[in-house]
Amino acid sequence: MNGPIHFLAILIQIMNMINKSLVIALVVLFIETTGYAATITWIGAAGISWTTAANWDSGTVPTINDDVIIKSDSVVVRSGSLAVAKSVEVEGASVFLTIQSGAQLTVTGSLGIGMDLSQAATVVNYGVLEINDAKEISLKVFTSSRFENFDSLSIDNGSDSAIRTASGALINQASGVIDIANMNLNSVDAMNCNENTENRGRIIIKNVFGGGAMLASNSFSNNGIININNVNHNAGATFEALGDFINEIGGKVTIDNVTGMDGVYLSGNAKNIGTITVRNVGGEKNGIRTLSGAPSNLGIINIEDSVHTGAYISGDFLNAGSIFIQGATDYGIINYGNFTNDLSGIVQISSRPGSVLQSGIQNFDTLINNGNILVGDTTQIGISNTFNSIFSNAGLIEIEHSDLGLRTSPGSSMSNSNIISIDNCNSGAYLPGGQYTSVIPGQLNISNCTDGIEISMDGILTNGIGCNLSVTGIVGAPFEVSSSGVFEGLGTSDF
C-alpha cells in the first residue's frame, strides 16, 4: 500500500477513538499539503460555469491539486472568478473552454502537460491564464485544436517546451500578451510552433536555459512584437524561422543577450518583411545564419554589438531590403552559398567605437550585388573574394577605412559592370592570383590610400573597353605588377 493511502487508512481506523471533526480536519490538511487529490471530470449538470460544484463529477470545484478533464460541452470561467487546477485536458471537436475578461485560471505544478488541447478542442482566453511549474509541455495544442489569446498568457518555470503546436492553431490577437520566463529545458525550444501560428500582439521570452527560445515554421505569421532576452544553450539558434515563416511588414523580432548559440536561423521559404534585430550574441556565433531553401529579406535586419559574425550565408539567400551590421567582432558577412543583394538591397557593415571588425565580407562561393554595399572600418580586409569563388557587381560598392580594401585569391573571379569605390585604406586592392574584370561601363576608383593596386602571383586585372580605372591621392605606390601578375588595360586608366 502506498504512503498516502496507508496514512489515510490509519486515520479512518482511529476515527472511533478520537473526535471525528478533528480527523476530518487532519485529512483535509493532509490533502492540501501533500498534493494528493483525484482527477476531476466535467459533466456539466448545472450549466457552463467552472465554479459551480455540480458541474464536476466529484461534486466539488477543482483545487490547485486536481487534474481536470473536459471532454464535453462549453465551459466558462466567468468574469470575477479565480479558477485553479494542477492540469487541464480539453479534448473534442465540440468542446470549448472560455476564460472571460476579468477572470483568471491558474494551472500549477503538473507532473505532465499543463494544459493539453487535442481532437479539435478550443480554448479562448479573454482574461488571465497562468501555467506554472509544468514538468512536461506547459501548453500543448495538437490535432486540429485551437488556442486564441486576447489578453494575458503567462508561463513560468517549465521543464519542457512552454508552448508546442502540431496540426493545431495558436492565435495571439493584437491585445494579447504571451509571457514566457524561467525555462530550464533539455535541448528543446521554449516555444515550438510547427503549424498555423499567428502573432498580432506581443510575445516575450526571457531567461531560457538548455534550449532555444522559439522554433517557428509552417505557416507562422508575425505581425506583432517578439522580444527574446537572455538565452543560454550550447547549440542551434535562439530563434529558428523555418518553412513558411513570415515576419510581416509590421512585425518586429528583437533578440538580445544570447550565449552559446546563433541569434537567428532562416531556412526554407522564411521571409522577413518587417524588422529583425539581433544584439549581444556571445561566443564564436552568428547574428543570423541562413540554411537550406531560399529564405529572403525584404525588410530590415539589424545586427548589433558583440556578434562574432554578423551574417553567415549558406544555401540561397535574397536580400531586397536592408541589412545593417554594426559591432561584429570578426566578420560582417561570410558567404558559403548563393547570396544575391537585389536592386533595392542595401548592405551596410561597419564597426562601433571600441569594437574590432576584421573583415567586412568574405565570399567563399557566389555573391551577386545589384544593389548597394557599404563596408567600413575593418582592421584587415573590406571584401575578400576567396579561392574559387565568384563575385559579380552590377550595383554600387563602397569600401572605406580598411587595412586592405579588396582582395582576390587564386581561382576566384570578380566582375564589375558598375562602380566600386575604395577610399582611405592602407592598401586599395591586392590581387595575389584570381581575376578581376571591369566590363562596360564598370568603374574601379581607388583614392586616398597609402598604396593603390598590387597584382602578383598570376593575378589578372582587366580594365575592359569602355571602363575606367582611377587611382588617385596615393602616398606610396599607386600601381604595381609583379610575380607573373597581368594587367590588361583596354579602357581608360588614371594613375
Q: What is the mean pLDDT of residues 25-39?
A: 53
Least confident of 69-78, 173-182, 355-364, 427-436: 355-364
Q: Are strands 366-369 and 390-393 parallel, antiparallel or unpaired?
A: parallel
pLDDT tens per residue across span 331-349: 999 999 999 999 999 999 9
What is the band of 217 on the pLDDT scale with cuts at 50, 70, 90? confident
pLDDT tens per residue across span 377-401: 999 999 999 999 999 999 999 999 9
What is the pLDDT at residue 37? 62
Q: What is the mean pLDDT of residues 101-121?
A: 96
Most distant CA pair in the chain, distance:
114
pLDDT at 205 over 90: yes
What's the length of the chain? 495
Closest CA to 86 of 60, 115, 69, 64: 64
What is the pLDDT at residue 387? 92
Q: What is the mean pLDDT of residues 35-40?
A: 74
Enumerate the domain spans of the chain.
1-36, 39-494
In angstroms, the Cα distances linking 436 to 119, 129, 439, 462 are: 62, 62, 10, 6
Q: What is the mean pLDDT of residues 461-475?
A: 97
Least confident of 240-254, 330-344, 354-368, 403-417: 354-368
Q: What is the mean pLDDT of residues 39-43?
A: 98
The answer to whether the Cα torsion of 323, 329, 332, 336 is positive or negative is negative
- Specify burial of residue 366 (Cβ count, 10 A radius: 0-12, 13-18, 19+): middle
pLDDT at 1 over 50: no
Q: What is the mean pLDDT of residues 273-284?
A: 93
The whole-model pTM stands at 0.90
Which is more confidently placed, 488 or 26?
488
Query: What average pLDDT does the structure give for the chain?
Result: 91
pLDDT at 38 over 90: no
| CA angle at 428 for the pair 420 and 431, rounded to the nearest 5° | 90
